Structure 1
């Protein structure tokens, strides 16, 4: 039951992409990873395409996309078999995440200013009590 060049068992794939085996199986169950080839005995075998796909999923996750959003993109790709429909939608999702992030950064800047101000107030009280 040896694999050929460019084929990986789940443990090898997990090491290669920096994910757990369970995560890979979960992505497969969700439909983010197309059904994979199996050897005798049901052993999953993954390809270089699966490596690229999982690295892409990891990148999208890092950028803040949810699994639901990734599934939406995957379904668009499967329906049209082209990135022409996927890329504009990905840009929309990324723009929405940027807007959310910008809002959160504004909130954090405000909180930072509030903490600094309150710290100065506390420092003044410490000075007065000394």
Structure 2
């Protein structure tokens, strides 16, 4: 059975645009389609699986650079252990960054609240 498909079939099944496919090819997230005949590109089921995995990883909050670092592991490690360990490390880093941003925002909020109260006290003294 021939598992090759044209870009239109691929994009429809993956829920992406042809532009996305071409972009992902250009940055190495998916392999380029095989040219045949009149310049048509053909893609495999593995390319479809890669596009689906990319979508899942994007939904976890990974950037395309981070996905680039992990995507191949999903297709060379049948156990799934290595890619999940790498994604877990990335997610832990994201959590640390979020916690740091929350801390900075809490400090900023406290500073703003302090200044509000200071201005209110100053205005009340003048009334």
Shift of 1:57: 1.9
C-alpha RMSD of matched pairs (Å): 3.6
Give 1:114's aligned residue: 111
Shift of 1:73: 1.0
* Cα distance per residue 1:54-85 (max 9 Å; x no partner): 3432343344423332222124345x342222
Does structure 2 conserve the Cα–Cα contact (< 8 Å) formed by 1:11 and 1:21?
A: no
Give 2:54's aligned residue: 57
Does structure 2 conserve the Cα–Cα contact (< 8 Å) formed by 1:14 and 1:24?
A: no
Unaligned runs of 5+ in 2: none
- Paired positions, count: 125
Q: TM-score, normalised by structure 2?
A: 0.66
Largest Rg, 1 or 2: 2
Shift of 1:95: 1.0
Unaligned runs of 5+ in 1: none
Which has the larger displacement, 113-122 or 92-101? Answer: 113-122
Does structure 2 conserve the Cα–Cα contact (< 8 Å) formed by 1:16 and 1:51?
A: yes
